[in-house]
Amino acid sequence: MNWLPVSASTFAPGVDFVLWLVTIISVISCILIGFLLVYFVIKYRRKSDNDQTPAITHDSFLETLWTVIPTILCIVIFIYGYVFYDQYTTTPKNAVEINVTAKQWLWTFDYSNGKKTLNELYVPIGQPIRLVMQSDDVLHSFFVPAFRVKQDLMGNRYTYINFTATKEGVFDIYCTEYCGTAHSNMLGKVHVLSKEKFASWEDGSAKKVQKASSNLPPAEVGRQLYSDKGCVACHSIDGADGVGPTWKGLFGKNRIFADGTSILADENYIKESILYPGEKIVEGYGPVMPSYKGLLEDSDITAIIEYIKSLK
Protein backbone atom coordinates (compact mmCIF):
# COMPACT_ATOMS: atom_id res chain seq x y z
CA MET A 1 0.00 0.00 0.00
CA ASN A 2 1.34 3.47 -0.73
CA TRP A 3 -0.65 5.86 1.40
CA LEU A 4 2.65 6.94 2.94
CA PRO A 5 4.80 9.59 1.23
CA VAL A 6 7.67 8.29 -0.94
CA SER A 7 10.45 6.89 1.12
CA ALA A 8 13.66 8.72 0.25
CA SER A 9 16.07 8.56 3.17
CA THR A 10 17.88 5.88 5.13
CA PHE A 11 15.53 6.49 8.10
CA ALA A 12 12.30 6.20 6.19
CA PRO A 13 12.06 2.37 6.16
CA GLY A 14 12.66 2.18 9.94
CA VAL A 15 10.08 4.84 10.73
CA ASP A 16 7.57 3.14 8.43
CA PHE A 17 8.28 -0.20 10.04
CA VAL A 18 7.50 1.12 13.54
CA LEU A 19 4.40 2.86 12.20
CA TRP A 20 3.15 -0.38 10.63
CA LEU A 21 4.03 -2.38 13.74
CA VAL A 22 2.06 -0.07 16.02
CA THR A 23 -0.81 0.12 13.54
CA ILE A 24 -1.08 -3.63 13.09
CA ILE A 25 -0.91 -4.32 16.85
CA SER A 26 -3.58 -1.67 17.46
CA VAL A 27 -5.88 -2.97 14.73
CA ILE A 28 -5.60 -6.58 15.93
CA SER A 29 -6.23 -5.58 19.57
CA CYS A 30 -9.13 -3.39 18.57
CA ILE A 31 -10.81 -6.15 16.56
CA LEU A 32 -10.16 -8.75 19.28
CA ILE A 33 -11.49 -6.58 22.11
CA GLY A 34 -14.48 -5.43 20.06
CA PHE A 35 -15.34 -9.00 19.12
CA LEU A 36 -15.03 -10.31 22.71
CA LEU A 37 -17.09 -7.42 24.03
CA VAL A 38 -20.01 -8.19 21.75
CA TYR A 39 -19.63 -11.93 22.21
CA PHE A 40 -19.69 -11.73 26.04
CA VAL A 41 -22.61 -9.32 26.07
CA ILE A 42 -24.63 -11.87 24.13
CA LYS A 43 -23.32 -14.99 25.81
CA TYR A 44 -23.69 -13.75 29.41
CA ARG A 45 -26.83 -11.69 29.01
CA ARG A 46 -29.54 -12.11 31.68
CA LYS A 47 -31.77 -14.85 30.39
CA SER A 48 -34.45 -14.92 33.07
CA ASP A 49 -35.42 -12.76 36.03
CA ASN A 50 -33.66 -14.92 38.62
CA ASP A 51 -30.37 -15.17 36.66
CA GLN A 52 -27.58 -14.40 39.14
CA THR A 53 -24.06 -13.14 38.29
CA PRO A 54 -21.59 -15.55 39.94
CA ALA A 55 -19.38 -13.84 42.54
CA ILE A 56 -15.97 -14.17 40.79
CA THR A 57 -13.39 -11.88 42.46
CA HIS A 58 -10.37 -12.52 40.25
CA ASP A 59 -8.61 -14.93 37.93
CA SER A 60 -4.83 -15.03 38.39
CA PHE A 61 -4.14 -16.70 35.06
CA LEU A 62 -6.14 -14.21 33.00
CA GLU A 63 -4.78 -11.24 34.92
CA THR A 64 -1.19 -12.36 34.39
CA LEU A 65 -1.91 -12.92 30.70
CA TRP A 66 -3.38 -9.49 30.05
CA THR A 67 -0.53 -7.83 31.92
CA VAL A 68 2.33 -9.78 30.41
CA ILE A 69 1.26 -9.66 26.74
CA PRO A 70 0.78 -5.86 26.54
CA THR A 71 4.02 -5.34 28.50
CA ILE A 72 5.96 -7.45 26.01
CA LEU A 73 4.35 -5.57 23.10
CA CYS A 74 5.26 -2.22 24.67
CA ILE A 75 8.86 -3.32 25.21
CA VAL A 76 9.15 -4.47 21.59
CA ILE A 77 7.76 -1.14 20.33
CA PHE A 78 10.09 0.73 22.68
CA ILE A 79 13.17 -1.15 21.51
CA TYR A 80 12.46 -0.55 17.83
CA GLY A 81 11.60 3.08 18.54
CA TYR A 82 14.78 3.54 20.54
CA VAL A 83 17.05 1.94 17.94
CA PHE A 84 15.69 4.10 15.12
CA TYR A 85 15.65 7.25 17.25
CA ASP A 86 19.25 6.62 18.21
CA GLN A 87 20.24 6.28 14.54
CA TYR A 88 18.37 9.50 13.80
CA THR A 89 20.01 11.56 16.54
CA THR A 90 23.56 10.25 16.11
CA THR A 91 25.52 12.29 13.57
CA PRO A 92 27.70 10.14 11.29
CA LYS A 93 31.39 11.21 11.32
CA ASN A 94 31.48 12.02 7.61
CA ALA A 95 28.32 14.17 7.71
CA VAL A 96 28.34 17.41 5.74
CA GLU A 97 26.85 20.37 7.62
CA ILE A 98 24.40 22.85 6.18
CA ASN A 99 23.13 25.80 8.20
CA VAL A 100 19.41 26.43 8.11
CA THR A 101 17.72 29.62 9.20
CA ALA A 102 13.96 29.98 9.40
CA LYS A 103 12.15 33.25 9.58
CA GLN A 104 8.63 34.42 8.89
CA TRP A 105 8.09 32.97 6.27
CA LEU A 106 11.05 31.55 4.50
CA TRP A 107 13.99 29.18 4.77
CA THR A 108 17.59 30.06 4.00
CA PHE A 109 20.35 27.50 3.58
CA ASP A 110 24.06 28.28 3.99
CA TYR A 111 26.58 25.80 2.60
CA SER A 112 30.17 25.38 3.72
CA ASN A 113 31.51 26.66 0.38
CA GLY A 114 29.78 30.02 0.88
CA LYS A 115 26.77 29.31 -1.31
CA LYS A 116 23.40 30.42 -0.01
CA THR A 117 19.95 29.39 -1.21
CA LEU A 118 16.43 30.48 -0.47
CA ASN A 119 13.68 27.90 0.13
CA GLU A 120 15.63 25.37 -1.92
CA LEU A 121 17.98 22.91 -0.31
CA TYR A 122 20.47 21.05 -2.51
CA VAL A 123 22.03 17.79 -1.30
CA PRO A 124 23.92 14.94 -2.94
CA ILE A 125 22.44 11.46 -2.83
CA GLY A 126 23.95 8.97 -0.37
CA GLN A 127 25.81 11.63 1.62
CA PRO A 128 25.01 11.96 5.34
CA ILE A 129 23.84 15.53 5.94
CA ARG A 130 23.56 17.35 9.24
CA LEU A 131 21.35 20.41 9.32
CA VAL A 132 22.29 22.96 11.99
CA MET A 133 19.13 24.97 12.40
CA GLN A 134 18.00 28.17 14.08
CA SER A 135 15.11 30.58 13.90
CA ASP A 136 15.38 34.35 13.48
CA ASP A 137 12.05 34.94 15.13
CA VAL A 138 9.27 32.61 16.34
CA LEU A 139 9.16 28.82 16.53
CA HIS A 140 9.20 27.00 13.21
CA SER A 141 9.50 23.32 12.41
CA PHE A 142 11.41 21.77 9.53
CA PHE A 143 9.61 18.77 8.05
CA VAL A 144 10.48 16.66 5.01
CA PRO A 145 7.86 13.90 4.82
CA ALA A 146 9.83 11.91 2.23
CA PHE A 147 12.78 11.71 4.63
CA ARG A 148 10.60 11.17 7.74
CA VAL A 149 12.51 13.88 9.58
CA LYS A 150 11.05 16.76 11.55
CA GLN A 151 12.50 19.14 14.09
CA ASP A 152 11.54 22.47 15.68
CA LEU A 153 13.70 25.55 15.19
CA MET A 154 14.11 28.02 18.02
CA GLY A 155 15.48 31.52 18.44
CA ASN A 156 17.78 30.91 21.36
CA ARG A 157 19.47 27.62 20.51
CA TYR A 158 20.55 25.40 17.64
CA THR A 159 18.69 22.19 16.82
CA TYR A 160 19.75 19.45 14.45
CA ILE A 161 18.50 17.01 11.85
CA ASN A 162 20.50 14.18 10.30
CA PHE A 163 19.53 12.42 7.12
CA THR A 164 20.96 10.59 4.15
CA ALA A 165 18.90 10.82 0.98
CA THR A 166 18.46 7.60 -0.96
CA LYS A 167 16.48 8.80 -3.99
CA GLU A 168 17.18 11.49 -6.55
CA GLY A 169 14.36 13.93 -7.04
CA VAL A 170 12.61 16.94 -5.58
CA PHE A 171 10.85 16.63 -2.22
CA ASP A 172 8.68 19.03 -0.24
CA ILE A 173 9.75 20.93 2.85
CA TYR A 174 6.98 22.15 5.14
CA CYS A 175 6.93 24.34 8.21
CA THR A 176 4.86 22.36 10.70
CA GLU A 177 4.78 24.79 13.59
CA TYR A 178 2.10 27.44 13.26
CA CYS A 179 4.16 30.61 12.89
CA GLY A 180 1.81 33.39 11.85
CA THR A 181 -0.25 34.74 8.95
CA ALA A 182 1.64 33.10 6.09
CA HIS A 183 2.60 29.88 7.85
CA SER A 184 0.86 27.80 5.19
CA ASN A 185 3.04 29.39 2.52
CA MET A 186 6.28 28.61 4.32
CA LEU A 187 7.22 25.92 1.84
CA GLY A 188 10.45 24.75 0.30
CA LYS A 189 11.99 21.99 -1.77
CA VAL A 190 14.88 19.59 -1.25
CA HIS A 191 16.70 18.75 -4.46
CA VAL A 192 18.51 15.45 -4.17
CA LEU A 193 21.13 15.36 -6.92
CA SER A 194 23.53 12.69 -8.14
CA LYS A 195 27.13 13.23 -6.96
CA GLU A 196 28.12 14.61 -10.39
CA LYS A 197 25.15 16.95 -10.67
CA PHE A 198 25.75 18.15 -7.13
CA ALA A 199 29.39 18.91 -7.92
CA SER A 200 28.40 20.98 -10.93
CA TRP A 201 25.70 22.72 -8.92
CA GLU A 202 28.31 23.56 -6.29
CA ASP A 203 30.71 25.13 -8.76
CA GLY A 204 27.89 27.07 -10.35
CA SER A 205 27.87 25.50 -13.80
CA ALA A 206 24.57 23.65 -13.31
CA LYS A 207 22.47 26.77 -12.93
CA LYS A 208 23.59 28.18 -16.27
CA VAL A 209 22.86 24.93 -18.05
CA GLN A 210 19.42 24.83 -16.51
CA LYS A 211 18.69 28.45 -17.42
CA ALA A 212 19.81 28.13 -21.04
CA SER A 213 17.56 25.16 -21.59
CA SER A 214 14.50 26.82 -20.09
CA ASN A 215 13.19 29.24 -22.66
CA LEU A 216 10.19 30.44 -20.72
CA PRO A 217 9.25 34.11 -21.05
CA PRO A 218 10.67 36.14 -18.11
CA ALA A 219 7.22 36.97 -16.71
CA GLU A 220 6.53 33.23 -16.49
CA VAL A 221 9.84 32.65 -14.67
CA GLY A 222 8.86 35.51 -12.35
CA ARG A 223 5.55 33.85 -11.64
CA GLN A 224 7.38 30.70 -10.51
CA LEU A 225 9.84 32.68 -8.41
CA TYR A 226 6.91 34.44 -6.76
CA SER A 227 5.85 31.16 -5.18
CA ASP A 228 9.22 29.32 -5.03
CA LYS A 229 10.96 32.20 -3.28
CA GLY A 230 8.12 32.77 -0.84
CA CYS A 231 6.98 36.26 -1.95
CA VAL A 232 3.52 34.68 -2.00
CA ALA A 233 3.65 34.61 1.79
CA CYS A 234 3.25 38.37 2.06
CA HIS A 235 2.21 39.72 -1.37
CA SER A 236 -1.03 38.95 -3.17
CA ILE A 237 -1.46 39.25 -6.93
CA ASP A 238 -5.21 39.80 -6.92
CA GLY A 239 -5.45 43.10 -5.05
CA ALA A 240 -6.01 41.56 -1.61
CA ASP A 241 -4.10 43.18 1.20
CA GLY A 242 -1.64 41.00 3.10
CA VAL A 243 1.38 41.44 5.31
CA GLY A 244 2.80 43.42 2.38
CA PRO A 245 1.11 45.45 -0.40
CA THR A 246 -0.47 43.60 -3.33
CA TRP A 247 1.49 43.41 -6.58
CA LYS A 248 -1.61 43.99 -8.63
CA GLY A 249 -1.28 47.31 -10.44
CA LEU A 250 1.96 48.06 -8.55
CA PHE A 251 4.07 48.89 -11.57
CA GLY A 252 3.84 52.58 -12.47
CA LYS A 253 1.80 53.42 -9.41
CA ASN A 254 2.63 56.29 -7.09
CA ARG A 255 4.08 54.92 -3.85
CA ILE A 256 3.83 56.89 -0.63
CA PHE A 257 6.26 56.04 2.13
CA ALA A 258 6.06 56.17 5.88
CA ASP A 259 8.39 59.21 5.96
CA GLY A 260 6.03 61.18 3.70
CA THR A 261 8.15 60.98 0.51
CA SER A 262 6.84 59.34 -2.64
CA ILE A 263 8.04 57.82 -5.89
CA LEU A 264 6.63 56.20 -9.04
CA ALA A 265 7.16 52.43 -8.95
CA ASP A 266 9.60 51.67 -11.78
CA GLU A 267 12.16 48.90 -12.35
CA ASN A 268 14.79 50.51 -10.14
CA TYR A 269 12.38 51.07 -7.30
CA ILE A 270 11.24 47.44 -7.38
CA LYS A 271 14.80 46.17 -7.49
CA GLU A 272 15.73 48.38 -4.55
CA SER A 273 12.64 47.16 -2.65
CA ILE A 274 13.81 43.56 -3.09
CA LEU A 275 17.47 44.09 -2.19
CA TYR A 276 17.09 46.82 0.46
CA PRO A 277 13.50 46.62 1.69
CA GLY A 278 14.29 48.78 4.72
CA GLU A 279 15.23 51.84 2.61
CA LYS A 280 11.68 52.86 1.71
CA ILE A 281 8.81 51.59 3.79
CA VAL A 282 5.42 51.79 2.09
CA GLU A 283 2.97 53.76 4.20
CA GLY A 284 0.72 51.52 6.30
CA TYR A 285 3.11 48.54 6.39
CA GLY A 286 5.69 47.30 8.84
CA PRO A 287 9.42 46.96 8.10
CA VAL A 288 9.18 43.16 8.01
CA MET A 289 10.28 42.26 4.51
CA PRO A 290 13.61 40.39 4.59
CA SER A 291 16.39 41.49 2.24
CA TYR A 292 16.92 39.18 -0.72
CA LYS A 293 20.45 40.43 -1.35
CA GLY A 294 22.62 37.44 -2.19
CA LEU A 295 19.58 35.18 -2.42
CA LEU A 296 18.25 36.20 -5.83
CA GLU A 297 20.28 36.66 -8.98
CA ASP A 298 19.90 39.75 -11.13
CA SER A 299 18.14 37.69 -13.78
CA ASP A 300 15.67 36.45 -11.13
CA ILE A 301 14.91 40.03 -10.10
CA THR A 302 14.39 41.05 -13.73
CA ALA A 303 11.98 38.13 -14.15
CA ILE A 304 10.05 39.18 -11.03
CA ILE A 305 9.84 42.75 -12.32
CA GLU A 306 8.46 41.45 -15.63
CA TYR A 307 5.90 39.44 -13.72
CA ILE A 308 4.86 42.44 -11.61
CA LYS A 309 4.46 44.46 -14.84
CA SER A 310 2.11 41.81 -16.16
CA LEU A 311 -0.20 42.14 -13.12
CA LYS A 312 -2.34 45.01 -14.29
Which spans of this chain sit near ligand HEC (rule: CB under 6 A)?
Answer: 104-106, 229-231, 233-235, 243-245, 250, 255, 265, 270, 273-274, 277, 280-282, 285-289, 292, 304
> How many residues bind Cu ion, per CB under 5 A?
4
Task: Answer yes or no: are the C-beta atoms of 226 and 242 closer than 8 Å.
Answer: no
Under the criterion CB under 5 A, does residue 131 sit at the interface with Cu ion? no
Name which of 110 and 137 has its Cβ closer to ligand HEC: 137
Out of 98, 131, 186, 305, name the contact with Cu ion by CB under 5 A: 186
As a 3-state breakdown, the chain gives helix, strand, coil percent values, each rounded to 5, of 40, 20, 40
Which of 116, 134, 142 minimizes the C-alpha distance to 229?
116
Under the criterion CB under 5 A, does residue 173 sit at the interface with Cu ion? no
Partner touching 304 among Cu ion, ligand HEC, none, CB below 5 to 8 Å by kind: ligand HEC
CA distances from 212 to 14, 59, 207, 216, 301 (A): 41, 78, 9, 10, 17
The Cα angle at residue 193 between residues 189 and 199, in degrees rounded to 5: 120
Q: Distance between CA atoms of 304 and 298, rounded to whole angstroms?
A: 10
Amino acid at 222: G
Partner touching 155 among ligand HEC, Cu ion, none, CB below 5 to 8 Å by kind: none
Name which of 103 and 148 has its Cβ closer to Cu ion: 103
Partner touching 244 among Cu ion, ligand HEC, none, CB below 5 to 8 Å by kind: ligand HEC
Under the criterion CB under 5 A, does residue 179 sit at the interface with Cu ion? yes
Under the criterion CB under 5 A, does residue 175 sit at the interface with Cu ion? yes
Q: Which DSSP letter does residue 266 get?
A: -
- Rounded to the nearest whole angstrom, what is the least distance from the CB of residue 179 to Cu ion in the complex? 3
Q: Distance between CA atoms of 159 and 140, rounded to whole angstroms?
A: 11
- Rounded to the nearest whole angstrom, what is the least distance from the CB of residue 38 to Cu ion in the complex? 47
Partner touching 250 among Cu ion, ligand HEC, none, CB below 5 to 8 Å by kind: ligand HEC
